[in-house]
Homo-oligomer: A and B are copies of this chain.
Amino acid sequence: MTAPWEPDEALAAFADLDLDRAARRGYPEAVYCRGKTAEQVGLIAGALRGHGARTLFTRAGPEHTAAILGELPDAFHYAASGLLAWPPDPPDPVGGRVLVVAAGTADQPVAREALLTARHLGRPADLIMDVGVAGLHRLLRRLDVLRTARVIVVVAGMDGALPGVVAGLVAAPVVAVPTSTGYGAAFEGLAPLLTMLNSCAPGVAVVNIDNGYGAGHLAAQIAAPP
């Protein structure tokens, strides 16, 4: 508890790191950077390094990134998604295969955030891109690969129709991620979000708009080894 007029900028004053989350939940902490100051993110990065705690940083802007790399210079950085991972190499993969499928090229940053999250959490994971429903033959051509997955993350904006179509073709559960790609009436991702929630085919679960991290995490849990 901090009380003075001027905010206390020590780590304990603004953050209560959940370092035993890995023990309690089986998955390490992640740090959502948006809304935090670069100084705060840097202090968190330093503390995590001190504990040797495997961590993802999500939605990191350029200033956040500089602060993190100042503390963890060897962290892996994928700028298009604002993602950093430390240590830079993922663990050896265990469990079922995670397949990430993206409808369009513009969905790449979200799809790759899901892909990298699943690998960071220890799953074997692969990516297929540009298989939207406007050209079904592109999807049907990959049916064999789709059926090898333990779980499929499907990323789509605009009409958001791909997850329902994929779910109708496979036995694996589908984690659907709406993206904010599209014209006006996509309403920043609301349209594909609703489409996915109303999927005719059972077996589709939905996460937040553009939330590749959440989808990758959930997929890692679904594909966890027994």
Hey, which bits of chain A sit against chain B, CB under 8 A? Answer: 1-3, 5, 7, 13-16, 18, 21, 24-27, 30, 32, 34-37, 40, 76, 78, 80, 90, 103-108, 112, 116, 119, 125-136, 138, 140, 145, 151, 157-161, 164-165, 167-173, 175, 178, 180-211, 213-214, 217-218, 221-222, 224, 226
**Given A161-B133, A210-B184, A76:B5 Cβ within 8 A:** yes
Contact between B213 and A171, CB atoms less than 8 A apart: no
A80 vs B80: C-alpha distance when bound (angstroms): 27
Contact B192 A191 (CB under 8 A): no
Copies of this chain in its oligomeric complex? 8
Find A187's partner among B90, B107, B183, B194 (CB 8 Å cutoff).
B194
User: Is the beta-carbon distance between B184 and A209 smaller than 8 angstroms?
Assistant: yes
Q: From residue A102, how far is it (CB to closest CB) to chain B in Å?
A: 9
Judge whether A200 and B76 touch: CB under 8 Å.
no
Q: How far is the CA of A213 from the CA of B14 in the complex (A)?
A: 20
Find out whether the CB atom of B198 lies under 8 angstroms from the CB atom of A218: no
For A170, the chain B residues whose CB sits under 8 A away are: 25
Our pick among B40, B184, B204 for the contact of A180 (Cβ within 8 Å) is B184
